[in-house]
Structure 1
Amino acid sequence: MLKIGCHLSTTKGFENMGKEALKIGANTFQFFTRNPRGGKAKEIEETDIQGLINIINENNFAKVLAHAPYTLNGCSADANTRKFAIEMMSDDLKRMEYLPNNLYNFHPGSHVKQGVDVGINYIVEMLNEVLKPEQTTKVLLETMAGKGTEIGRSFEEIAEIISKVELKEHMGVCLDTCHVYDSGYDIVNELDKVLDEFDKIIGLDRLYAIHLNDSKNPFSSHKDRHEKIGDGFIGINAIEKIINHPKLRHLPFFLETPNELDGYAKEIALLKSIYRND
């Protein structure tokens, strides 16, 4: 069975996200832990969380993916911004324990001309402060497109971060198809080669989720602009190979394409139709 979902809004609560996922044919979903451009998180209502947990258990959902806000930049040149990132991620991970044994994804951040080495060390410092031995949440570094001074544009940068984290057992990776294509990994023509490289440098055992997006821009553009499935430079043939690849097909796929709910429903139906249940 294809594990597929999309990005849903927390505005109406957690249980409602589960209901919306079912409505559009999804069996998982992604959500922001708080306003993606802000810092304050909504109060958690335990009955609302329990309603979602019931839906997840009754409908055999795959793990759901929480996404940190875009304002979280643990490798900023500004000390207050780094402090804010630590506080925000620490709070997010505490809140995630209301929904245990799921996934939390974040963008590594931008080093803002300090250099990659300095940026990586700041990210590692943040992770070593916020990760706790008792947590049940897997924290995922997202692969990035490489615009500006982003960290995470290469498998080597992701691997270096993980190698320096003390509690490595809590760490994993979310591979974004638009991002890796834009950063220079040819998943259209050389998918096997890219996955072999990922396995050699990071390890496929660290890959826990995939952001499934087409790209508005051509290969190695470093632009990071998502497109609807089949309408971009990656294309439906490559997407079909990705969701059916023996090294990927067991993973949960999360759509971040420019859609409303009805558009996501159509994409999910399309992807289910080209997924081989064998």
Structure 2
Amino acid sequence: MLRIGCHLSSSKGFLAMARTAEDIGANTFQFFTRNPRGGAAKEWKKQDVEAMLAFCEKKGIGCLLAHAPYTLNACAKDEGIRRFALETLEDDLRRLSLLPGCMYNFHPGSHVQQGAQKGIELIADTLNQVLTREQTTTVLLETMAGKGSEVGRSFEELSRILERVELSDKLGVCLDTCHVWDGGYDIAGKLDQVLEEFDRILGLERLKAVHLNDSLNGLGSHKDRHAKIGQGEIGLAAFGRIINHPRLRDLPFYLETPNELEGYQAEIALLRGLYE
């Protein structure tokens, strides 16, 4: 079964998101835990969360993915920004205890002229402060395109973070197709080799989710500009191979393409038609 969905707005609540997912043919979805450009978050209504969980169980919707705000930067040079990242991670993990089985994805951050190694150390230090043995939420580091001073531009950088985290069994990786392509990994022409490299450096057991995005730019461009499926440099045929690859096909896939709901619905139907 192809587990596929897209990014949905949580502004109208959890049950509304689940109903929207069903309406567009999705059987999973991703959502921001708070305003992606902001800070404070409203408390989640337990009744709304419980209603959503019951609806999802009835409709076969699962593998939900929460996404941290873009403003979260665990390796910022500014101590106040790092403090915001730590407090946000702590608060989000507390909230996500209401959603059993939900994963939590975040961008590792930008080291801002401190150097990648310092950024890696700061990210790992933050994770060591927020992860607990009791938590049930798996936290995912996202693969990045490598623009500016982003950390996570290579499998090696992600591995170096994981090596420094004491409770690394609570961590996984979300592979973003646009990001890895822009980062120089040829998932269109050399998918098997890329996955073999991922397995050698990180271990494919760490790969828990995939963001499906085409790219407006060429291989190794380090730009991070998403395109609609089949309308970018990666190409439709490559996405057919990705969702059907024996080492990927059972993972949940989340669209983050530049679309409204109608566009997501069309892409979900397109990809279901390619799934064998």
TM-score if structure 2 supplies the norm length? 0.99
Q: How does 1:188-207 map to 2 (within 5 A)?
A: 188-207=188-207
Match of 1:264, as an amino acid? Y
Identical-pair percentage? 61
Aligned partners of 2:94, 2:132: CA distance in 1, in Å? 10
User: Structure 2 matches for 1:1-278, cutoff 5 A?
Assistant: 1-276=1-276
RMSD, aligned α-carbons: 0.5
- String of CA shifts for 1:207-263, please: whole Å, max 9, x gaps: 000000000111110000000000000000000000000000000000000000000
Q: Distance in 2 between matches of 1:217 and 1:141?
A: 23
Kindly provide the CA deviation profile for residues 117-168 of structure 1, in whole angstroms up to 9, marking residues without a partner as x: 1100000010000001100000000000000000000000001101110101
Q: How many residues align?
A: 276
State the AA in 1 paired with 2:236: I
- Runs of 4+ aligned residues of structure 1 deviating over 4 Å after TM superposition are none
Q: CA deviation at 1:28?
A: 0.3
Alpha-carbon distance in 2 for matches of 1:169, 1:55 = 30
Point out the more displaced range, 211-220 or 55-64: 55-64
Tell me how far 1:102 sits from its aligned partner. Answer: 1.3
Alpha-carbon distance in 2 for matches of 1:75, 1:100? 28
In 2, Cα distance between equivalents of 1:221 and 1:54: 44
Cα deviation, 1:51-76, whole Å, max 9, x if unaligned, reads 11012211222310000000000000
Matched AA of 1:274: L
2:104 aligned counterpart, secondary structure = strand
Cα distance between partner residues in 1 of 2:55 and 2:234 = 34
SS in 1 for 2:28: coil
Asked if 1 retains the 8 angstrom alpha-carbon contact of 2:155 and 2:202, the reply is yes
Give 1:271 shift: 0.4
Runs of 5+ consecutive residues of structure 2 not aligned to the other structure: none
SS of the residue 1:29 aligns to: strand
The 1-side partners of 2:52 and 2:147 are apart by 36
- TM-score scaled to structure 1, two decimals? 0.99
